[in-house]
């Protein structure tokens, strides 16, 4: 059913550009006409065969690659050169649609489209000279963009149904898209997994693994718990280990003086668990959410206390130390990779380490400061963001050689931890901060140059981690058995 709230191009549209790319100052583009945007999704080619009766039988189809997105921008010709007359590099175009208010306020939109413009392919000049009529001189630019237009909506925050009362530390989704012809449709945000602290008020006092699945009401604990009584679960990852088998891998978040760090994994959705020691140094543990990272069963990393980084090539059964407290002896709080070779980890003493060979060797890069780093997002091999315990937010565009502080509008000072940062792409990102006993969420659509507070977040006592399936589906793991979803309004 079509919405009864519609937009009108004369009064609702506004064009913005990021002249220097993501994480740079947006510029309002007034007095422009935007013509139709033609976005290719990739056509299909039928696979057919002639049967015994001479009739064509459709056997299937193949998907063609999408073509570049095309559009036209037109404006008046003036005495001074226009931006589009001079531009030579790719730039993002943001098409805001709003209900009311000023067009030149960047945050004033109800929905927007981020179009990654690559090239101006042609220019049409019209109305330059007329012998018997007076018309406005115009130039119209033919534009080609990448086919990946990002659609942004205002999100609604809701508290999920959760069968748990302990703090929820980390949350992930299987993130595997499939259509109905392969089973249950999955948009990448269908099968969820979350982990908790041990619940001192429960009879067993064991930490839980929670799952979300179609046909099951809310987030439910698995049939068995992986660790012993009193032991928290800090981090979780999921990946395929067979055609129809998903492995849940979790890391113990509590120290055990008589044993080394420990993980547990399950291939039957938590009905049974297999325990595995990580390293041989007693007392080590995973310090928090995002200390586990996995591309697949062959590329898994775990960052622990005392400055250790471990790697597994067999789904978490066996681990090899790649860094053994040499660079820093402080706790590693987060580890993230952008590809199987390039990754970063951050520590409680402000140290940032990097590898370019899958962890065979690690080395420190410049630190943004002496404060403990509590969060890390890696966008590309050279673009990364970190957050600190005093509400600091920093970014680097050169792989950690230099850092720039960014004010996101949150609290600062002791006890204002930036708990987590996630980016969906170069433009859309989310962060969460816990201050004065409450968790808040901020988001950006311009690559981090400006951040906006997400309204309507349910009351909570702290948000520990975020997971973004895409720009319009985000989940937050919070204290006291709380999971929050941020999704498009129905």
- Could you tell me the residue ranges of all domains in the chain? 9-40+67-153, 155-488
Question: Could you read off the pLDDT tens digit of each residue along the chain, which spans 490 residues?
Answer: 456 678 888 889 999 999 999 999 999 999 999 999 999 999 999 999 999 988 999 998 999 999 999 999 999 999 999 889 999 899 999 999 999 999 999 999 999 999 999 999 999 999 999 988 999 999 999 999 999 899 999 999 999 999 999 999 999 999 776 666 666 666 778 999 999 999 876 768 999 999 999 989 999 999 999 999 999 999 999 999 998 899 999 999 999 999 999 999 999 999 999 999 999 999 999 999 999 999 999 999 999 999 999 999 999 999 999 999 999 999 999 999 999 999 999 999 999 999 999 999 999 999 999 899 999 999 999 999 999 999 999 999 999 999 999 999 999 999 999 999 999 999 999 999 999 999 999 999 999 999 999 999 999 999 999 999 999 999 999 999 999 999 987 6
Cβ burial of 258 (10 Å; 0-12, 13-18, 19+) is exposed
Which architecture, in CATH terms, is 9-40+67-153? Roll (2.30)
* Alpha carbon 104 to its chain's center: 28
The torsion angle over the Cα atoms of residues 357, 359, 363 and 369, rounded to 10 degrees, is: 120
DSSP string, 136-149: --EEEEEEEE-S-P
344 touches 386 (CB < 8 A): no
Residue 116: which H helix or E strand, with range?
strand 111-126
Per the listing, tokens 């290719």 go with 40
Write out the DSSP string of 373-386: EEEEEE-SSS-EEE
**Tokens in use for 289?**
């959410």
The residue to which tokens 């600091």 are assigned: 392
**What CATH code would you report for 155-488?**
2.130.10.10
The pTM of this model reads 0.94
| Distance in angstroms (rounded) separating the CA atoms of residues 339 and 153 | 29
- d(CA 408, CA 223) in angstroms, rounded, equals 41
Are the CB atoms for 457 and 443 separated by under 8 Å?
Answer: no
């Amino acid at each position: 059913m079509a919405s009864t709230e519609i937009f009108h191009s004369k009064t609702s549209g506004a064009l913005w550009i990021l002249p220097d790319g993501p994480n740079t100052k947006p510029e309002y583009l007034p007095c422009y006409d935007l013509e139709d945007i033609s976005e290719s999704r990739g056509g299909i080619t039928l696979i057919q065969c002639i049967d015994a009766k001479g009739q064509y039988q459709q056997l299937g189809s193949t998907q063609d690659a999408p073509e570049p997105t095309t559009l036209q921008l037109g404006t008046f010709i003036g005495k001074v050169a226009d931006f589009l007359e001079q531009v030579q590099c790719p730039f993002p175009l943001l098409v805001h649609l709003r209900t009311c208010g000023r067009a030149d306020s960047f945050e004033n939109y109800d929905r927007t489209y981020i179009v990654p413009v690559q090239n101006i392919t042609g220019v049409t000049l019209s109305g330059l000279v007329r012998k018997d009529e007076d018309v406005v001189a115009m130039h119209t630019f033919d534009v080609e963009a990448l086919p990946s237009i990002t659609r942004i909506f205002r999100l609604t925050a809701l508290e999920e149904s959760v069968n748990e009362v302990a703090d929820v530390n980390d949350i992930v989704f299987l993130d595997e898209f499939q259509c109905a012809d392969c089973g249950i449709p999955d948009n990448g945000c269908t099968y969820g997994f979350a982990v908790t602290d041990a619940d001192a008020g429960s009879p067993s006092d064991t930490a839980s693994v929670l799952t979300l699945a179609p046909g099951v009401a809310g987030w439910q604990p698995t049939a068995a718990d992986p660790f012993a009584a009193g032991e928290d679960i800090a981090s979780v990852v999921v990946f395929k280990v067979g055609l129809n088998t998903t492995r849940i891998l979790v890391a113990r978040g509590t120290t055990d003086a008589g044993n080394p760090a420990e993980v547990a994994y399950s291939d039957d959705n938590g009905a049974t668990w297999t325990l595995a020691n990580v390293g041989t140094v007693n007392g080590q543990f995973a310090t928090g959410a995002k200390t586990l990272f996995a591309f697949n069963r062959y590329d898994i990393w775990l960052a622990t206390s005392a400055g250790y980084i471990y790697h597994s090539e067999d789904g978490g059964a066996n681990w090899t130390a790649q860094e053994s407290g040499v660079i820093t002896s402080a706790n590693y709080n987060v580890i993230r990779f952008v590809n199987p070779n390039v990754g970063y980890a951050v520590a409680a003493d402000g140290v940032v380490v990097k590898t370019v060979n899958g962890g065979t060797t690690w080395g420190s890069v410049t630190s943004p400061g002496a404060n403990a780093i509590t969060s890390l997002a890696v966008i590309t091999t050279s673009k990364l963001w970190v957050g600190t315990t005093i509400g600091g937010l920093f970014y680097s565009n050169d792989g950690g050689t230099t850092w720039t502080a960014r004010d996101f509008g949150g609290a600062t000072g002791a006890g204002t931890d930036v708990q987590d940062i996630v980016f969906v792409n170069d433009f859309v990102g989310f962060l969460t901060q816990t201050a004065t006993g409450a968790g808040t969420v901020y988001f950006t659509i311009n690559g981090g140059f400006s951040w906006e507070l997400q309204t309507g977040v349910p009351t909570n006592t702290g948000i520990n981690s975020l997971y973004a399936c895409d720009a319009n589906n985000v989940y937050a793991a919070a204290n006291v058995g709380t999971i929050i979803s941020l999704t498009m309004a129905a």
